[in-house]
Amino acid sequence: MKKWGILIVALMMVTTVLAACGQNKNNAAGNIPANNQGAANNGAASKKLIIGTSADFPPYEFKIKNEKGDNEIVGFDIEIAKEIAKDLGAELEIKDMQFDSLLNELESGRVDLVISGLSPKPERAKQIDMSKIYYKAEQSIVSLTENKDKYGSMESLEGLKIGVQKGSIQEDMAKTVPNAKLTSLGKINDIIMQLKSGRVDVAIIEGPVAESFVKNVDGISITDAKPVTEDEGYVVGVKKGNKEMLDQVNATLDRLLSDGSIDKFVTEASALAEK
């Protein structure tokens, strides 16, 4: 009888331990972004939010040397990403990559969100879900300063060699210029180098980004030509069908728009980019 009693007690202990393990596993999964559920341990502290960006777009996202001498990605998009992570109770991880690879990384689940001066092009809505617009800006035509007066209208760009970022709204704009010869590159820095070396005549660049480069690179200027697009404005990209994440992102954006934080982030990032 004693042996049977000991056996029953042992079985009860094993059952209790297994039940507890099952509960811990379920709790760990929670609402953690999909690509982190397997690595989660306990509670919000173990969550990780992975943001995809192309960090060559000041003042949206760009690199600086921090106090330790390390490269750090900063910008007002990054400040927005920090706020989204904070509201999710998650640790933020930033992945820097080519702009034209961002949506594929989002679709594959290798990043949870994309925030990188992303415009709400209709074709993108077929591939990903998009947040509400959180910022709007004009587009600019940049040329060598010595040629600035040649380009007073979009018509004056006909037949020119135009530099644009690959996969961007600016690339779409350039395609509408009659007989234009496009040079599409992954990084804005490379486009500026093409402009400086004379390999392209002009570059189409988003307004605040163009202003930042003009202030920091000698010999280039913003012309009077003004591109027009219906897609002006920027959104956060979310994996298709992830409504819970989309709702959370929009809630954070609502808060930042209503309390003036985004305007503050833009001002601070613009000042930092000028340094």
Cα-only R_g, the chain: 24
pLDDT bucket at 121, cuts 50 / 70 / 90: confident
Cα within 13 Å of Cα(26), Cβ side: 6
Report pLDDT digits (tens) over 135-176: 988 899 999 999 999 999 999 999 999 999 998 889 989 999
Cα gap 236→161, rounded to integer Å:
31
pLDDT for the residue numbered 261:
96
pLDDT bucket at 231, cuts 50 / 70 / 90: low
Q: Which of 78-87, 204-213, 229-238 has the lowest mean pLDDT?
A: 229-238
Q: How much is the mean pLDDT over the chain?
A: 85
Residue of 114 and 13 predicted with greater confidence = 114
Report pLDDT digits (tens) over 29-59: 334 454 454 333 334 445 899 999 999 998 9
pTM: predicted TM-score of the whole model, two decimal places: 0.69
- Average pLDDT, integer, range 177-184: 97
Residue of 21 and 189 predicted with greater confidence = 189
Cα gap 139→232, rounded to integer Å:
8
pLDDT for the residue numbered 46:
56
Cα gap 196→158, rounded to integer Å:
20
pLDDT for the residue numbered 150:
96
Report pLDDT digits (tens) over 50-100: 999 999 998 999 999 988 888 999 999 999 999 999 999 999 999 999 999
Percent with pLDDT over 90 in the chain: 64
Cα gap 139→177, rounded to integer Å:
15
pLDDT for the residue numbered 54:
95
Cα gap 64→49, rounded to integer Å:
22
Domains parsed from the chain with CATH numbers: 37-136+233-274 (3.40.190.10), 139-222 (3.40.190.10)
Q: What is the largest CA-CA distance in the chain?
A: 102
Residue of 26 and 215 predicted with greater confidence = 215
